[in-house]
């Protein structure tokens, strides 16, 4: 009989105070989003089938729990589109990532302009979803979304540069980078598409801390779930488990509870202020 060790994965949701809630339009919107993305043929048939089984529409329904049908559809399509962008850039060089990101930014800023012949299909995918998204979005929320996308795209380029140069970050610098490149920031944007939040409230230090905490939680959970795949394909340097093991000289068994530290910290809630400024923080923590 051989000795074996049990590796414990932290239960980051054990003290989460909000109940799980699913948008009631989930099933019909997910089917529409899958059909919409497939119509562009952005992936191989095998990859498309795997993508369809990922239940990205369910994720959207868990994040935009109270969104009306139209906003849920935009949010779901956005998640699908960013998944394709991630697939296209995941193994690209930093130069290749910046070329693809330039296409995405141009599509976001010029939704009325036809995409050039022969361009990567991600340009038309992004143009299509944001042309519809802009129609239901306030000017303030549109500004915040474009800014979030700019930060995200720059973050993905930084990740590619690290990948090119085999960089291994510290915990702090890794989390700073992941707040940019994880894609969570723009995926939170549909939560405010219907709100008119001024910059002084949206970028207030307390709201920024709440947004960062929300992003960190998603990043940590995602890294724990994806570690085995990433180490198998040689991309483990971009994962909190590898970072912590290296920085604190731990093995995989010893690391068990480390990523869970701080997850249960208190997060600020809506409090006083205009309705839109109270609704957005509550939406963040419940998502």
Residue 231 belongs to a domain with what CATH number? 1.10.600.10
**254: pLDDT confidence band, cut at 50, 70 and 90?**
confident
Q: How many structural domains is the chain composed of?
A: 2
**Contact indicator for 219, 175 with CB cutoff of 8 Å:** yes
**Contact indicator for 269, 281 with CB cutoff of 8 Å:** yes
Shared-domain flag, residues 145 and 286: yes
The pLDDT of residue 235 is: 83
Q: Is residue 3 part of a domain?
A: no
Whose tokens are 């009631």? That residue is: 24
Final residue of a structural domain among 98, 118, 136: 136
**1: pLDDT confidence band, cut at 50, 70 and 90?**
very low
Q: Is the pLDDT of residue 156 over 90?
A: yes
| Residue scoring higher pLDDT (122 or 20) | 122
**Could you tell me what percent of the chain has a pLDDT over 70?**
86
* Listed residue (195, 177, 173) closest to 185, CA to CA: 177
Q: Is the pLDDT of residue 282 over 90?
A: no
**228: pLDDT confidence band, cut at 50, 70 and 90?**
confident
Shared-domain flag, residues 103 and 199: no
Shared-domain flag, residues 148 and 214: yes
**139: pLDDT confidence band, cut at 50, 70 and 90?**
very high
User: How wide is the angle at C-alpha 159 spanned by C-alphas 264 and 152, nearest 5°?
Assistant: 70
The pLDDT of residue 8 is: 66
The mean pLDDT value of the chain amounts to 88
Q: Is residue 155 part of a domain?
A: yes
The pLDDT of residue 6 is: 64
Token output for 228? 């085995």
The mean-pLDDT minimum among 67-76, 185-194, 237-246 falls in: 237-246
DSSP the chain: -----PPPPP-TTTT--SPP---TTHHHHHHHHHHHHHTT--S-HHHHHHHHTT-HHHHHHHHSTT--HHHHHHHHHHHHHHHHHHHHHTT--HHHHHHHHHHHHHHHH-TTSPPPTT--THHHHHHHHHHHHHTT--HHHHHHHHHHHHHHHHHHHHHHHHHHTT----HHHHHHHHHHHTSHHHHHGGGGTT----HHHHT-HHHHHHHHHHHHHHHHHHHHHHHHHHHHTT-TTSSHHHHHHHHHT--TTTTTTGGGTTTT-------SS-HHHHHHHHHHHH-
Q: Is residue 63 part of a domain?
A: yes
Q: Is residue 33 part of a domain?
A: yes
The pLDDT of residue 256 is: 62
- Looking from the CA of 266 toward its CB, the CA atoms found within 13 Å total 2
Q: Is residue 285 part of a domain?
A: yes
Q: Is the pLDDT of residue 266 over 60?
A: no
Report the predicted TM-score, pTM, of the whole model to 2 decimal places: 0.88
Token output for 143? 């500004």
Q: Is residue 5 part of a domain?
A: no
Q: Is residue 7 part of a domain?
A: no
**279: pLDDT confidence band, cut at 50, 70 and 90?**
low
The pLDDT of residue 233 is: 80
Shared-domain flag, residues 263 and 281: yes
For 157-163, what is the mean pLDDT?
94
The pLDDT of residue 51 is: 94
Q: Cα–Cα distance between 278 and 281 in angstroms, integer?
A: 6
Other Cβ atoms less than 10 A from the Cβ of 39: the count is 10
Q: Is residue 45 part of a domain?
A: yes
For 224-232, what is the mean pLDDT?
86
Shared-domain flag, residues 132 and 147: no
**173: pLDDT confidence band, cut at 50, 70 and 90?**
very high
CA 230 to each of CA 11, 17, 215, 224: distance values in angstroms, whole numbers, following the listed order: 21, 31, 20, 10
**Contact indicator for 273, 201 with CB cutoff of 8 Å:** yes
Q: Whole domain around residue 212: which residue ranges?
A: 139-287
Q: Is the pLDDT of residue 170 over 50?
A: yes
* Residue-level length of the chain: 287
Final residue of a structural domain among 118, 136, 154: 136
């Amino acid at each position: 009989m051989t000795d074996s060790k049990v590796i414990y994965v932290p239960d980051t949701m054990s003290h989460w105070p909000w109940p799980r809630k699913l948008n009631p339009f989930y099933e019909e919107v997910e089917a529409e989003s899958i059909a919409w993305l497939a119509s562009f043929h952005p992936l191989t048939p095998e990859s498309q089938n795997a993508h369809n089984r990922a239940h990205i529409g369910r994720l959207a329904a868990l994040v935009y729990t109270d969104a009306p049908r139209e906003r849920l559809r935009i949010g779901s399509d956005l998640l699908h589109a960013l998944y394709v962008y991630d697939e296209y850039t995941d193994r690209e060089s930093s130069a290749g990532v910046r070329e693809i990101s330039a296409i995405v930014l141009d599509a976001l800023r010029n939704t009325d302009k036809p995409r050039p012949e022969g361009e990567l299909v991600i340009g038309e995918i992004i143009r299509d979803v944001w042309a519809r998204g802009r129609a239901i979005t306030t000017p303030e929320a549109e500004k915040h979304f474009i800014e979030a996308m700019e930060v995200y795209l720059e973050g993905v380029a930084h990740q590619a540069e690290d990948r090119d140069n085999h960089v291994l970050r510290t915990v702090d610098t890794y989390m700073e980078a992941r707040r940019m490149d994880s894609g969570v920031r723009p995926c939170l944007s549909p939560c405010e598409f219907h709100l008119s939040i001024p910059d002084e409230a949206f970028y207030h230090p307390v709201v920024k801390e709440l947004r960062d905490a929300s992003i960190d939680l998603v990043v940590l959970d995602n890294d724990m779930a994806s570690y085995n795949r990433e180490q198998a394909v040689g991309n483990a340097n971009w994962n909190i488990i590898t970072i912590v093991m290296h920085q604190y000289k731990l093995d995989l068994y010893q690391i068990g509870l480390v990523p869970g530290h701080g997850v249960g910290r208190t997060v600020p809630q809506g409090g006083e202020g205009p309705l839109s400024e109270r609704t957005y923080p509550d939406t963040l923590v419940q998502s």
